[in-house]
Structure 1
Amino acid sequence: MAAPADKTDPFDPFGVAAAMTGWCCLLKAAQEIRDIDQEMMETMMEADAAAPAGLSPEAGAKLQGVVSLMRRLQLDPEAVRRSEPETMRALESACRACGARSRCERELRAGTAARTYPDFCPNAARLDRLRHA
């Protein structure tokens, strides 16, 4: 005795309707995954934007250096965070690892950092690229 799945549909002898139904299910699943992916990306970007507040005071102070320097260079850190999140993460990462923090703080306090940062800042090339973009 043949199983019901072995029977062909007399109105669709080549199985086109079944194939289309399967294809539609796949498209719907892909759309749902894309929507979830977009939501995850937005959540990650929001978390990135809020990250400095959740850092230790020392790490937060280090990141304030790059934010302060960006503002002195007429760059908007939040706009960069939104438009170029990878660049902002790279700036923050280099700032955290910087060995010239005391000089940076001194230059920022003196108001000379916008002029002297290329001499000591590991982010100089990235900041210059942003300034001339």
Structure 2
Amino acid sequence: MSDPADTPDPFDPFGVIASMGEWCCLLKAARELREVDGEMMATMLEASAAGLAPVGPDAVANVRSIANLMRSLNLDVEAIRRRAPEAMRELEAACLRCTQRGRCARELWAGTAADAYPEFCPNAARLDQLRHA
């Protein structure tokens, strides 16, 4: 007797739809990895080694959050990364340890992060220094 899993889908006898789904997942992962530069990865690996935060998709999202917040404050993330790499690592490390990730994501999505970040962001003082430098 044949197993139902061995029976081809009558609408997708060659498994093209399943393959496309897997391909889309791979493309999404590749896009996320492309956005992680060497400095971000170093910060995430240091935090992981110190037991502060695991490396994974959530860590990538958290490090991306600080970059998005900085952009909302009209700070040039890449210029700061070149000019003050240690300051950028400190910002990213604090973001990885943050307990307010949900609020940060909501504020960024709503476009209110630039006004609300002093209320919840562990990087508020550092960001203020960068804004007034």
TM, length-normalised to structure 2:
0.61
Supply the distance in 2 between the matched residues of 1:95 and 1:53 (Cα, whole angstroms). Answer: 10
Q: Partner of 2:95 in structure 1?
A: 95
Q: Which residue of 1 aligns with 2:118?
A: 118
Aligned length: 88
Tell me which amino acid in the other structure corresponds to 1:97.
Answer: R
Instruction: Show the 5 A alignment for 1:30-69.
Output: 47-48=38-39, 51=42, 56-69=56-69
The separation in 2 between residues aligned to 1:128 and 1:92, in whole angstroms, is: 15
- Distance in 2, matches of 1:64 and 1:52, equals 12
| Deviation readout 1:55-96 (Å, 9 max, x if unpaired) | 521100001110000000000111111100110000000000
Unaligned runs of 5+ in 1: 1-45
Alpha-carbon distance change, 94 to 50 in structure 1, aligned in 2, over 3 angstroms:
closer
2:132 is matched with which residue? 132
SS of the residue aligned with 2:99? Answer: coil
Whole-Å separation in 2 of the counterparts to 1:60 and 1:49: 8
In the alignment, the residues of structure 1 paired with residue 81 and residue 131 of structure 2 have an alpha-carbon distance, to the nearest angstrom, of 15
What TM-score, normalized to structure 1?
Answer: 0.61
Among the aligned pairs, what percent are the same residue? 56
The structure-2 alpha-carbon separation of the partners of 1:103 and 1:70, relative to structure 1 and needing over 3 Å to count, comes to same
**CA RMSD for the aligned pairs?**
2.1
1:100–1:113 Cα change, 3 Å: same
2:58 match: secondary structure: helix
| Unpaired segments ≥5 residues, structure 2 | 1-36, 46-54
2:109 equivalent in structure 1:
109
Could you say which residue in structure 2 is the equivalent of 1:76? 76
Which structure's CA Rg is the greater one? 1
Question: 4+ residue stretches of structure 1 with deviation over 6 A?
Answer: none
* Per-residue deviation, residues 98-124 of structure 1 (Å, max 9, x unmatched): 000000000000100000000000000
